[in-house]
Structure 1
């Protein structure tokens, strides 16, 4: 190029520089100082800074996800701890604490990595940005590993959590049912008292539930979920029992009044009937041997004593009823009824004994035939479908036949023991009935 051309080009270049903004001028000058062309002095540093910032953002996202998951799982653990005290629950709580330590360490390493590098610094060197990216990437990986462990732990925790949530779902309804039951019992008791019945025992039982209600009102936070549910169930059952008894109390009082009258009338009737036992015994003594009536000799005296006892219990029951001691009144009435039942049976025995002895002494053949028929019926059943009977069945039936024969033979003589004869024939029939029952049970089992 000629000197003139060179001068013109330089002048043209200068005009271009004058027309450019100052930063571009400087850049152009810098290019001219390096022998022509331009280059980005901070291009590689900016790329490292951008990579480090991306690693920082990714680590922050991992940290946020881990922190959120840990907070959610902590709520689940607290739910389980409030409800469940089983070994599995205690182990889960311990494992969560150990996992929390690892999470804390991973979080600490991440925070240190963030605090150790200022990626916004103007003079950030490429090597520093590279170190920051590496440390933040490692922190992110550890946070993600901890998140994976936390997710797996949460999956294993699901059965315990479902059980705990079920318990918690029961808590509020259980407490509310207990409160409503107490209210209903109180109202029922008030209604009973308004009718003139004191119901002191029911009132005492209801008052005893007051401390339990206080604890229910204090809540599960103080006493635990399981204990609160258990207490609510106890209060519910106890209050419902009081309410039920209070509602039945008017009917109970009326029933006690009715039974007092009925049992007193029955005692008078038994006293009248007992007076007729002595003539029956006299007839037995006159017509039959001593073995037929000796066991009945104490009946008149025993009947009089038992009736006197029953009447005393009835008097006590009346006093208990007047004092509204309902359980005592009912217990005394039951005792009086038992005494009268026993006495009534004993009084009836004498007349029944005379009737049966009269029947058999006039026609023993009917009793014998009735008994033989029972034995033959059992023997036919024992032989059904067999050539020979089972010894377990044949032996007691053979013994029964022999026993009947002895009883018949015992009637010979001037003063036969007809009562012994009757007891023997009854025993033979019972033996036959027992064998029949055994055979039917065995065949029923075999057929089934």
Structure 2
């Protein structure tokens, strides 16, 4: 059977005229349906295979996605990869900047030198550069929503370009940051070294203060006063308070200096406190020793007058007139020493250790000068006796020194250096004059002795000069 074609649709719902001629529809009936009706008609009129492929998409809800694979999907994936790479570069740069900021803050906390201040300003410049590229990256991310279903291929390509550019700028900023960090190496090492010293230095200062306090307590327990040491230790209290407040308030360099100062002062107090018993015993020994010495000098001072009498009797006035004041000066010095000894003993009983030590030093100086004066009178008599009996021994001793110096000056030379020969020639003439002064009824032996001694001193200086010059020339 031959199927009868269906009749065309008419406005009245009737079939077309005989002969199956198509009936022309009115103009308003030929317009395209809108809305849901259009979608239904489309499905009805489509061939069956295409209809089957279209149904799920038509009723999926939320509109139709424009990505159907191929070039568009590849560009979208590349844009997303560029976004991920830029995000990684941003995170790496941000982390490095945070770490470097800690390093710069460490340097600033320790170092106030021009180099450290320059590092701060350079870091601020690097930070401004990082802010610029970070803003560029954030703007690129905010400008493109890569998760939109209807993202156009050209938009995705633009997003990929901008995000790749942002990633490259972030990478270059990271390289600049790395170079800056390498330049900070010496400053950072110095700062970290000082920071590493900080805690141990503070702890050593605290422990030394504690040791000084314990030593002071032990001395007081032994019945000895140590008021000056206690005052010095108390003066370190405010310094300890500042140490406890830390470097955050007072700065690392100042805190290190304070710790060293506290350590040094506390160690001095501790050492003196531990030595105080020995110091007291030493003062007691010196009191006894100096008292004995003063008594001995009192006895010796009484023997100066007989020595002077012999000098007056046997030698000219020039040989002894400078010694006439010795007996009176010796007696006065001994009396002063005894008075100071009494004061030192009183200071010892009151445990004023510095005063006792100072007074004993004064006593010793007085007794030393007295001893020298008293000894000078006896020594003068002994030397004058010797030279008056045999002046030739003194003459030969001096001439030997001159000849020895002359031989040294001529060693390796045809003629001596004038700066060496002149003082040696003068010494020969001076010795001759001293020898000539012994002629007469009352020779001045003391003048002779002082002259020969002066000649030997001059010769010794010339010898030392020659040896020094030749040693430098070698």
Same fold (TM over 0.5): yes
Unaligned runs of 5+ in 2: 4-46, 59-65
1:92 matched to 2:119? The reply is: yes
Note the C-alpha offset of 1:233: 1.0
Residues 139, 416 of structure 1: alpha-carbon distance in 2 compared, 3 angstrom cutoff: same
Change (3 A) 1:437 1:118: closer
Which residue in the other structure is 1:10 paired with? none
- Separation in 1 of the partners of 2:454 and 2:261? 53
Q: Does 1:64 align with 2:91?
A: yes
Query: Residue 314 of structure 2 is aligned with which of 287, 303, 319?
Result: 287
Q: Counterpart in 1 of 2:269?
A: 242
C-alpha distance in 2, partners of 1:386/1:55? 93
Match of 2:166 among 133, 136, 139: 139
The CA distance in 2 between the partners of 1:366 and 1:59, in whole Å, is 106
Structure 1 unmatched runs, 5+: 5-16, 30-38
Cross-structure match for 2:467: 440
Residues 429 and 41 from structure 1, CA distance in 2 versus in 1: closer, same or farther, beyond 3 angstroms?
Answer: closer
Cα distance in 2, alignment partners of residues 98 and 390 from structure 1: 71
Cα deviation, residue 137, structure 1:
2.0
Q: Does the alignment pair 1:324 with 2:346?
A: no
**CA distance in structure 1 between the aligned counterparts of 2:318 and 2:67, rounded to whole angstroms:** 139
**Residue deviations 1:330-388 (CA, integer Å, cap 9, x gap):** 22211111111111000111111111112222222222222222223323333334343
SS of the residue aligned with 1:388? coil
Larger gyration radius, structure 1 or structure 2: 2
**Pairing 1:99-114 to 2, within 5 Å after superposition:** 99-114=126-141
Aligned pairs for 1:24-173 (under 5 A) are 24=53, 26=55, 41=68, 43-173=70-200
Residues 413, 25 of structure 1: alpha-carbon distance in 2 compared, 3 angstrom cutoff: closer
Q: What's 1:36 paired with?
A: none
Q: CA RMSD in A?
A: 2.5
Counterpart check, 1:255 vs 2:255: no
Tell me how far apart the structure 2 counterparts of residues 385 and 28 of structure 1 sit (CA, whole Å). Answer: 122
Question: Could you tell me whether the CA contact under 8 Å between 2:67 and 2:73 is conserved in 1?
Answer: no
User: Residues 379-427 of structure 1: CA distance to partner in whole angstroms, max 9, x if unpaired?
Assistant: 3333334343333333222222222222222222222212112212222
Once the 2 structures are TM-superposed, how far is the Cα of residue 158 of structure 1 from its aligned partner?
A: 1.5
Residues 1:391 and 1:112: Cα distance change in structure 2 (over 3 Å): closer
Structure 1 counterpart SS, 2:230: helix
- Bigger drift between 63-72 and 419-428 goes to 419-428
Distance 2:408 2:74 in 1: 109
Task: Within 5 Å, give how 1:300-379 maps onto structure 2.
Answer: 300-379=327-406
Q: Which of 379, 382, 389 is residue 416 of structure 2 equivalent to?
A: 389
* Contact preservation (8 Å) 2:67, 2:150: no
Displacement after TM superposition at 1:100 (Å): 1.2
Count of aligned pairs between the two proteins:
424
More helix, by proportion: 1
Structural mapping, 1:208-219, within 5 Å: 208-219=235-246
Q: Distance in 2 between matches of 1:160 and 1:343?
A: 63
Equivalent pair of 2:344/2:357 in contact (CA under 8 Å): yes
Query: The residue matched to 1:268 in structure 2 has which SS?
Result: helix
- Over 3 Å counting, the alpha-carbon distance change for 1:23 and 1:84 in structure 2 is farther
Cα pair distance change 1:391/1:96, threshold 3 Å: closer
CA distance in 1: counterparts of 2:77 and 2:129, whole angstroms? 30
Q: Secondary structure at the match of 2:184?
A: helix
Which deviates more, 41-50 or 255-264?
Answer: 41-50
Distance 1:40 1:421, change over 3 A: closer
Task: Identify if the C-alpha distance between structure 1 residues 265 and 78 changes in structure 2 by more than 3 Å, giving closer, same or farther.
Answer: same
Q: Structure 1 residues 77 and 28 mapped into 2: Cα distance closer, same or farther (>3 Å)?
A: closer
Match of 2:298 in 1: 271
Query: 1:323: Cα distance to partner?
Result: 2.2
Q: CA deviation at 1:213?
A: 0.9
- Cα deviation, residue 184, structure 1: 1.2
Classify 1:441/1:52 alpha carbon distance in 2 versus 1 (closer, same or farther; 3 Å). closer
Q: Kindly provide the CA deviation profile for residues 91-121 of structure 1, in whole angstroms up to 9, marking residues without a partner as x.
A: 1111111211221222122222222222212
Describe the shift of the 1:160–1:292 C-alpha distance in structure 2 as closer, same or farther (beyond 3 A): same
Change (3 A) 1:67 1:23: farther
Question: Equivalents in 2 of 1:52, 1:23: separation in Å?
Answer: 34
Which string of whole-angstrom CA distances, capped at 9 and with x for unpartnered residues, describes residues 270-322 of structure 1? 11100111111111112211111110111111111111121222222222222
> Matched residues in 1 for 2:160 and 2:418: separation?
100
C-alpha distance 21-245 of structure 1, shift in aligned 2 (>3 A): farther
Q: CA deviation at 1:27?
A: 8.5
